[in-house]
Amino acid sequence: MSTTGQKFYEDGYVVIDDLLNADEIDQVDHELESLPSTGAGDRRFLDREWCRLLAHVIRHRLLKRRLLYLATQPVLCTYFNKDADTNWGVNLHRDLHVPLTRQIDHPRWGNWSDKQGIPHAQAPRDVLATMLAVRVNIDACDVGDGALCVVPGSHATADVDSARVECVGPRGYAVVMSPLLLHTSVKSQSGRPRRVLHFLYGPSALPDGAEWYYTH
């Protein structure tokens, strides 16, 4: 196992400064600037061709780094836009809900909700354990900018008392993490923009008759 892979296995996350190069980040920046206002967030970014292509570029690079195993396809991309006007904090939590084509009647899938017209359900732990989230930060993020904070190792335990680590980095850095990892963020104190593309990767097939909303 690579050093990066070993760290991810133990801590449930890794920070990668060079997942995308400067030209790729410039292109993403251009695409975001040309969009109409999306408010604080948008869960339907895989509707956009450029985002689908980017998701597969990231997938290929994660495979080369041996960070993708069963999570072989992009199943969601959410855009977050935190700035002086849209500034919020998030309590400590795990990302347990996934996007599906339709609601199914099965005891392992529950807490259903509709998010921008996409049915979401809380997935079984064995499914979530195969999945991977990749948070690509379009802007540099430093202390005071409301960066993501994680609890290392909490993807494998219920411990919420361990020290939290703030994931800061340069423009274009990425946090690769298990959806089961406890994470949080506070309101930005700087007012500087913090734009994030949050990609979610999952296995090609789901159990119990469940089906991904996005299949690319």
Mean pLDDT on 73-88: 83
- Domains (range + CATH), the chain: 3-202 (2.60.120.620)
pLDDT of residue 176: 97
Q: Cα dist. 91→29, 71, 99, 147, 150 in Å?
A: 28, 26, 22, 13, 11
Q: Cα dist. 174→18, 53, 199 in Å?
A: 8, 17, 10
Name the band, by pLDDT with cuts 50, 70 and 90, for residue 2: low
Among the listed residues 97, 92, 99, the one whose alpha carbon sits nearest the alpha carbon of residue 76: 99
Q: Give 16's contacts (C-beta < 8 A, 6+ positions apart).
A: 4, 65, 173, 174, 175, 176
Name the band, by pLDDT with cuts 50, 70 and 90, for residue 88: low
Asked which of 63-72, 126-135, 158-167 is least confident by mean pLDDT, the reply is: 158-167
Name the band, by pLDDT with cuts 50, 70 and 90, for residue 216: confident
Q: Quick: pLDDT tens for 188-213.
A: 777 777 899 999 999 999 999 999 99
pLDDT of residue 117: 95
pLDDT of residue 84: 58
Please tell me the pTM assigned to this model: 0.93
For the chain, the average pLDDT equals: 90
pLDDT of residue 181: 96
Name the band, by pLDDT with cuts 50, 70 and 90, for residue 76: very high
pLDDT of residue 144: 81
Q: Quick: pLDDT tens for 140-185.
A: 998 887 889 999 999 998 776 778 999 999 999 999 999 999 999 8
